[in-house]
Amino acid sequence: MRAARTFVAGLKADGLLTETARVRAELFGSLGATGHGHGSDRAVLLGLAGELPETVDTDGVPELVGEVRTSGQIALLGTHMIDFDADRDLLLHRRRSLPFHPNGMTFAAYDARGDEVRARTYYSVGGGFVVDEAAAGADRIKPDSTRVRFPFTTGAELLTVATEANLSISDVILANECSWRSEADVRAGLLEIWRVMRECVERGCERDGVLPGGLRVRRRAAELRRSLEADGAPDRWSVGGANQAATGAADPLRVMDWVTLFALAVNEENAAGGRVVTAPTNGAAGIIPAVLHYYTRFVPTASSDGVIRFLLAAAGIGVLFKENASISGAEVGCQGEVGSACSMAAAGLAEAMGGTPAQVENAAEIGMEHNLGLTCDPVGGLVQIPCIERNAVASIKAITAARLALRGDGVHAVSLDKVIKTMRETGADMKVKYKETARGGLAVNVIEC
């Protein structure tokens, strides 16, 4: 969606939009192989129409997309109407890839004579980040030239600057974020992310039915919520309120059922085309919200400031994965998505619960170490099986990692940097069929009905 909108916005900025009579979009690599199941084709149409992920009316998407397909027309940026044949002008190449990254796409605009007005290549490098061909390459994204207060590129460097400055991990990340915006804006932005996460969980817990896509996967979050509430949950359902969910005296692990619920709710919304926070990706979007809900509802010392510190620390760990490996399932398998999210969530929880920088780094290391080698093999190309349950399992794993790290002193045998390096190398060794192509693993061993 971002890439398509960027393309047509560029046409308008350069005075070429009114000359455009036709647009052609082509998706390659993993985008082409799983595009229909991941909603990539619909996202392209929405982006061409000028929509943004943050503001698009998710309930109105089927109608908008359906109108384009049936009318054979699309209004670029919502203003310039052109003919658009989805079968001819939106192509998904299942077996062809572009250089630099598996998630590649091209857009071309033509005038009424059929002459090319402009063509651009984009790469979706994970987490909602899109770069054009000029910015792609070995480093994925051109480095930002902004000077930050505490520069770091590795976990070891992050620990060093935190120790020398006598700061927590979240303090370091906050100081760096203030290089771009005020502290008030940083805090407000993080709380807005948390609000969207809460709303996503709320929506997911309210909706029954079957997920789209043909696998007939039943939504389970709403039913699970009803079951948990019947067993003694509070009358008031408030996913943002602290310490409101009953733990269930007869079942000491019942808290984990609530964590499972939170993760399922988010990823069922993702599978249904709802709005989620890329954390760090859509396929892994349920893990950080689920662990944050665990923190706000079951940790007695939870606070809004703790939520902010959680997200800052998680972001700091996410930087390390993007800087030194990948968060793209198309590039390194699901270890780069669910594994990174598990690591980020574990670090965030350890930070929010008062962990030292060494304990936070240890939590992140544990979260990633036990996701090494995780493949991305979505059945039917849909972000449903095994993706939805995988988020629930990884959420519980993140909580375990944080609690284990907090019981220690931060000293451990394997560093986070070594685990990230191992993840990158494992991804490089992984066969392409296990990297979000739906051509291996469960994707070929589960019969579609």
Please give the full DSSP string across 317-381, using - where no structure is assigned.
Answer: HHHHHHHHS---HHHH-GGGTHHHHHHHHHHHHHHHTT--HHHHHHHHHHHHHTTTT--B--GGG
Would you state the pLDDT for residue 249?
A: 55
Would you state the pLDDT for residue 105?
A: 94
Cα(65)–Cα(125) distance, integer angstroms: 25
Identify whether the C-beta of residue 128 lies closer than 8 Å to the C-beta of residue 53: yes
Identify whether the C-beta of residue 263 lies closer than 8 Å to the C-beta of residue 197: no
Would you state the pLDDT for residue 238?
A: 46
Cα(43)–Cα(138) distance, integer angstroms: 27
Residue 110 in tokens = 């033509």
Tens place of pLDDT per residue across the chain (449 aa): 999 999 999 999 999 999 999 999 999 988 888 778 888 999 999 999 999 999 999 999 999 999 999 999 999 999 999 999 999 999 999 888 888 788 889 999 999 999 999 999 999 877 777 888 765 544 445 567 889 999 999 999 999 999 999 999 999 999 999 999 999 999 999 999 999 999 999 999 999 999 998 899 999 999 999 999 998 754 334 444 444 444 455 788 899 999 999 999 999 999 999 999 999 999 999 999 999 999 999 999 999 999 999 999 999 999 999 999 999 998 999 999 999 999 999 999 999 999 999 999 999 999 999 999 999 999 999 999 999 999 999 999 999 999 999 999 999 999 999 999 999 999 999 999 999 888 999 999 986 54
Interior angle at CA 192, CA 188 and CA 197, nearest 5 = 150
Q: Is 262 helix (H, G, I), strand (E, B) or coil?
A: helix
Task: Classify residue 275 as left (phi > 0), alpha (psi -120 to 50) or beta.
Answer: beta
Going by C-alpha positions, the residue among 172, 157, 32 that lies closest to residue 106 is 32
Q: For each of the domains in the chain, give its residue range(s) and CATH number, in order of start.
A: 2-132 (3.30.1330.90), 155-445 (no CATH)
Would you state the pLDDT for residue 234?
A: 47
Would you state the pLDDT for residue 204?
A: 98
Cα(339)–Cα(323) distance, integer angstroms: 15
What separation in angstroms does the CA of 396 have from each of 27, 45, 243?
Answer: 35, 36, 18
Q: What is the pTM of this model?
A: 0.86
